C-alpha cells in the first residue's frame, strides 16, 4: 500500500495497570514501522487506573502524554468507566481512537465496550477460548495441557470471548510453574500484540 499520509490521524490510547511491557512493545513498533505515515495511527496517550503503575514513568520518558484515573476513587464500576471514556475523549477529538488494553486489570462495563465497539482490543495470556479470566497459567498446568499461549482479540461484552486477531503457542515444559510459563508466554505477547495491531490497522483502513 502507499505510504502517503492520511488526511485524518487516528489515535491509539493504551490502557495499563502495571509495568506496561506490552505497551512498550507497541510504542516501539509504532515508531519502527512508521504507523503514523502508513496508517495515520499514532500512540496518543497512556492511561492507567493505578497511580503507581511503573509504565507511566516509561511513557513520560518517551514524551507520551499520560493520565491516571484511580479506580478506587469512584463509587462504582460504571462511574469509573464513564470517567475513563471522558479521559480517552480528551485525546480523541474525532471519536476515532483505537483503545488498546495492555495489562489493564479491569473488567469493562457493557456500556464502555459498546461505546468503543470495533475499536477496543486486548491481549489475554491463554489460547482462547480456553481459560478466560484470571490465573490462566496455573489453570493450564493443573489441567495437564501440553501447550499454552496468548491471544489478541477484539473486546466484546462477554469476557475474553471477542473475535480472535492472532495467537501464539508455547510448550508447557516439565517442571513449569505459573511464573516460568508466564515469562515464556510474555515474550510471545511482545511479538504478536504489535503485529496484530499493525495488521488490524492495515486491514481496517487505519
Provide the annotated active-site residues: 124
Closest CA to 201 of 97, 108, 107: 97
Count the Cβ atoms, other than its own, within 10 Å of residue 101. Answer: 20
Count the Cβ atoms, other than its own, within 10 Å of residue 38. Answer: 18
Question: What is the β-pairing status of strands 164-171 and 120-124?
Answer: unpaired
Closest CA to 199 of 165, 169, 168, 167: 165
Asked if 97 and 88 touch (Cβ cutoff 8 Å), the reply is: yes
Phi-psi region of 118 (alpha: psi -120 to 50; beta: other; left: phi over 0): left
Amino acid at each position: 500500500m502507499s505510504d502517503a499520509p492520511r488526511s485524518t490521524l487516528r489515535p491509539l490510547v493504551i490502557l495499563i495497570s502495571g509495568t506496561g511491557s506490552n505497551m512498550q512493545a507497541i510504542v516501539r513498533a509504532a515508531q519502527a514501522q512508521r504507523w503514523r505515515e502508513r496508517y495515520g495511527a499514532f500512540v496518543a496517550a497512556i492511561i492507567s487506573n493505578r497511580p503507581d503503575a511503573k509504565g507511566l514513568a516509561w511513557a513520560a520518558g518517551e514524551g507520551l502524554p499520560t493520565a491516571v484515573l484511580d479506580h478506587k476513587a469512584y463509587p462504582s464500576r460504571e462511574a469509573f468507566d464513564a470517567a475513563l471514556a471522558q479521559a480517552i475523549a480528551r485525546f480523541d477529538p474525532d471519536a476515532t481512537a483505537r483503545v488498546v488494553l495492555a495489562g489493564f486489570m479491569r473488567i469493562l462495563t457493557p456500556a464502555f465496550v459498546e461505546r468503543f465497539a470495533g475499536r477496543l482490543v486486548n491481549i489475554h495470556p491463554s489460547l482462547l477460548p480456553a481459560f478466560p479470566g484470571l490465573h490462566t497459567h496455573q489453570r493450564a498446568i493443573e489441567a495437564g495441557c501440553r501447550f499454552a499461549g496468548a491471544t489478541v482479540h477484539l473486546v466484546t461484552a462477554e469476557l475474553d470471548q471477542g473475535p480472535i486477531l492472532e495467537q501464539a503457542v508455547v510448550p508447557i515444559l516439565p517442571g513449569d510453574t505459573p511464573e516460568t510459563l508466564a515469562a515464556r508466554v510474555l515474550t510471545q505477547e511482545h511479538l504478536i500484540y504489535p503485529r496484530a495491531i499493525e495488521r488490524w490497522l492495515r486491514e481496517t483502513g487505519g
